[in-house]
A and B are shown apart, each in its own frame.
Chain A
Amino acid sequence: MNQAGNRTLERIVPPLWALLIALGAASMLIASIGGNPHQVLGLLSLGTWRSGYGFGQVLFKATPLLFTGLSVAMALEAGLFNIGAEGQITVGALAAALAGATLPVGTPHWLAIFLCVVASFAGGALVGGIAGILKAWRGSHEVITTIMLNFIVRAAMVGLGGTIFLRESVHTRPVIEAARFARFSQWLSPSLFKGSAVNDSLFLALLVCLLVWVFLNRTTAGFALRVVGASPGAAEAAGISPGRVTAWALALSGGLAGLGGCNFVLGYKYYYEDGFSGGVGFMGIAVAVLAFGSPLALIFAALLFGTLSQGGLAINAVVPKELVDVLEAVIIFAVAGTKWPVRRMLSRSSSKISSGEKT
């Protein structure tokens, strides 16, 4: 068996296996609380992929997950664990909202979008960069600092609310018309995506996926980032400063998470609203872990978690929607648990095949 084929299998089999296990566990759980698994899973699929609105919502929910998943995955490539995507996306969203609201009304569409997107990136990068600089300068562990920054951002938002939110509300002024992403229902198929908030920021997400892949695999800066992640000792010997790379890698990672704010702010509500993120920053960790560093897998993982979070609403009528939280947890556990068994299984089967040829 060829090695490349084996490696691809090693990538694909564990998540699929995990999905099967999760569905099995969910079925048992549903049955145990007196539900009908067949009915519940049917509802779940009907509320997501089998209806136009549901499908649109899956894409809408997958969009910020792509950004936060990408953010965590990029940090992992540099050997860093960014737990702070939640705080980063919050600041990114706020930055986009403030930028969009301050722009003069006559600003051209492309420029307004560009400036808001840049603002969201800068907002996230600022938060990520603080953790990065602390790590490079003082060696503070990024897991601690990024978690703490989440709390700091949370507290800062509460404090800021009084000055930047509109009176009697928990949201900012809306962004100008020109700074808004078009919804799919506006131009693609009004009937199909009717009512769904899925918008053009999905294309931005896919484009950024591609750019990140190019950056990591084709540029010298991306190479430096991967070297630091693979071996700080080798990086030193190669003249790559692990500290400096760590600092900008976390800033970059934060920026990617910050971009995720665009989906809500520029594509859905057109303003920043307190608590908008709904935990997509943390879910990004699951997406990145599930994807094992492959950009294509990242898209699938984001879609899967998008499906689950939309599906939760669909099944709420018959079972508690928290069921999908359980499902998500089981998937993560199952992936973590099947990675090695699968690898062993594959190596055993391949050695059997080649020994069969010999004798």
Chain B
Amino acid sequence: MSPTDIGESTEALGCAHVWKRFGEVIANRDISLSIARGTVHAVIGENGAGKSTLMRGLYGLHSLDQGSVRIDGELIETPSVAASIKRRVGMVHQHFMLVPTLTVTENVVLGDEPVERGMLVLSRAEQKLIELGERLGLARDPALFRRRVGELSVGEAQRVEILKVLYRGAKILILDEPTAVLSPLEVDDLFAVLRRLRQDGSTIILVTHKLDEVMGLADRVTVLRRGETVLEVETGQTSAAQLAHAMVGRELAKSVRTTRQKTISPPTMRLKVESLSVRRSDGSLALDGVSFSIAAGEILGVAGVEGNGQSELALSMAGISTPERGRVRIDGQDVTALPVIARRRLGMRYVPEDRHGRGLLLDATVEDNFLLGVQEHYRRFGFVDRRRLEIDALERTKALDVRPPDLSAVARTLSGGNQQKVVIGRELAGRRDIPLSTLVCAQPTRGVDVGAIEKIHAEIERVRKDGAATLLISAELDELLALSDRIVVLFRGRIVGELEDFDQFAAGELKSRVGALMLGAA
């Protein structure tokens, strides 16, 4: 293609009348898009709105039922990954596609290895990568390229994904939920990179469900809802509120908490943790003498950059991993040595951060998923009381608006938000025989859309009002600030700060304080 061709068309990527169905579900319904060269175009929508499906279709990862794709003004009859790469389109996936045991350079050249006389030559590729990383601010330290991907942080791994795409010469980048796994600072860094890329003339398509990201970065935004385009607008001519309304199709409730208890009188501490230490399998200390207590009707938020002991804290609270030292008490009873089932009998409920690995049975029905972890509750003479289970599960799916409202649906076919609603619906359900005493809630809204977040937060608030002691671990600072009574900050396995009585802080000050603590600045 000659440079003049590029000059004539201002469209980098486009599609017309795209349809895509999966069985009965219409994921994309007659979607047309046109993305101008050199812009950041955001595609937003709730989970299950069809964003990822559309992007995968445009990139050629799956076939379209109907419709056509244009790249640089050229009509692509049958989109394929090969055709996309050839026309310098690159996609960065939500889940990293890197080989952990290979170095960064090896990962980048994988599939297109520079070979001379039958031998792999990495030096030139590395040189090119160092230049690229330097220019875009993606990697200022050349040593990065010699490190193994398995040793990198999530944020670094993501940069490698972006570098990989740029190394192949991509000028049009599709980023599918790039910020889902990043800490706030890493998000800022990523956005700086994306701005530089835009200056460089690249076109960026950003798939997300976070509105502040859209407002802060995108030039233009397309909102999808249930597979259809419901709004397409310049970012300058809209507001976060309008976008949220378009995404969900209705107004969102403002904030869950309006009042916070300062002190509970008399202070009945339901969950007490004393100098808890947990070792990782590699021998390093994940938690190093952590102590806290949570009163009835209180939510303690745990903030921190991922990997500072939050996962281990949740697992040891739930009873899955045993601590090396320390004590855990529920309502005064020492549960340190008790297994999960015994803690559950004391009214502990657990929302795992790993929804697919621990929270759900993906290939089982929604009904069976409502039995998981509460199988004892529905046991009658050794049998499962299916009638009672069905009644309760139906009530909970209705209360949380799980879609589709079908108990025989297989969990895997539900969108992420609806899967999480099932987990929340089950764990936070009121049960007369064992009332909820303590809730261990890890990343309750990770990868979940706005509408579902609203429902999930309302549920957490409901059990708090009912007197539960809640340990809320979240990577979303806004979530912690909206729900918690107090916040502790974890850094390298220690609690490095505690904040309460949020009203004393000016707007923004609280957030920056927590942010500083998260980085270990005392």
> Is A239 a contact of B373 with CB atoms below 8 Å?
yes
Known: A238-B340, A239-B344, A241-B339. A220 touches B375 (CB 8 A): yes
> Is A234 a contact of B384 with CB atoms below 8 Å?
no
Chain A, interface SS category = helix
CA A340 – CA B342 in complex, angstroms? Answer: 42
> Is A230 a contact of B339 with CB atoms below 8 Å?
no
| Nearest B residue (CB) for A359 | B66
> Is A355 a contact of B21 with CB atoms below 8 Å?
yes
Residues of B within 8 A of A236 (CB): 320, 340, 358
What's the minimum C-beta distance from A232 to chain B, rounded to whole angstroms? 9
Known: A231-B357, A239-B341. A358 touches B372 (CB 8 A): no
Residues of A within 8 A of B508 (CB): none
Check if B350 is an interface residue, CB within 8 A of chain A: yes
CA A103 – CA B375 in complex, angstroms? Answer: 42
| Nearest A residue (CB) for B368 | A223
> Is B339 a contact of A239 with CB atoms below 8 Å?
yes
Residues of B within 8 A of A238 (CB): 340, 372-373, 375
- How many A-B residue contacts, CB cutoff 8 Å? 89
Residues of A within 8 A of B319 (CB): 239
Check if A347 is an interface residue, CB within 8 A of chain B: yes
> Is A231 a contact of B361 with CB atoms below 8 Å?
yes
Q: Report B318-348 residues with CB < 8 Å from chain A CB.
A: 318-320, 339-344
What's the minimum C-beta distance from B411 to chain A, rounded to whole angstroms? 10
Contact among B341, B361, B376, B386 with A234 in the assembled complex (CB-CB below 8 Å):
B361
CA A236 – CA B386 in complex, angstroms? Answer: 23
> Is A355 a contact of B383 with CB atoms below 8 Å?
no
CA A219 – CA B371 in complex, angstroms? Answer: 11
Residues of B within 8 A of A231 (CB): 357-358, 360-362
CA A229 – CA B394 in complex, angstroms? Answer: 26
Check if B466 is an interface residue, CB within 8 A of chain A: no
Contact mask for chain B residues 1-43; partner A; CB cutoff 8 A; 1 contact, 0 none: 0000000000000000001011110000000000000000000
What's the minimum C-beta distance from A339 to chain B, rounded to whole angstroms? 15
Q: Report B382-415 residues with CB < 8 Å from chain A CB.
A: 382-384, 386
Check if B359 is an interface residue, CB within 8 A of chain A: yes
> Is B384 a contact of A219 with CB atoms below 8 Å?
yes
Check if B83 is an interface residue, CB within 8 A of chain A: no
> Is B65 a contact of A351 with CB atoms below 8 Å?
yes
> Is B341 a contact of A240 with CB atoms below 8 Å?
yes
CA A218 – CA B381 in complex, angstroms? Answer: 11
Check if A336 is an interface residue, CB within 8 A of chain B: no
CA A74 – CA B341 in complex, angstroms? Answer: 24
Known: A227-B361, A237-B358. A220 touches B352 (CB 8 A): no
Residues of B within 8 A of A6 (CB): 23
| Nearest B residue (CB) for A350 | B23
| Nearest A residue (CB) for B376 | A220
Residues of B within 8 A of A227 (CB): 361, 372
Residues of B within 8 A of A239 (CB): 319, 339-344, 373, 376
Q: List 26 A-B contacts (CB under 8 A).
A: A3-B23, A3-B24, A219-B383, A220-B375, A220-B379, A223-B368, A223-B371, A223-B375, A226-B361, A230-B361, A230-B362, A230-B363, A231-B361, A231-B362, A234-B359, A234-B360, A234-B361, A236-B320, A237-B318, A237-B350, A238-B372, A239-B341, A239-B344, A354-B21, A354-B23, A355-B19
Tell me the A residues contacting B by CB distance below 8 Å: 1, 3, 6, 218-221, 223-224, 226-227, 230-231, 233-234, 236-241, 347, 350-351, 354-355, 358-359
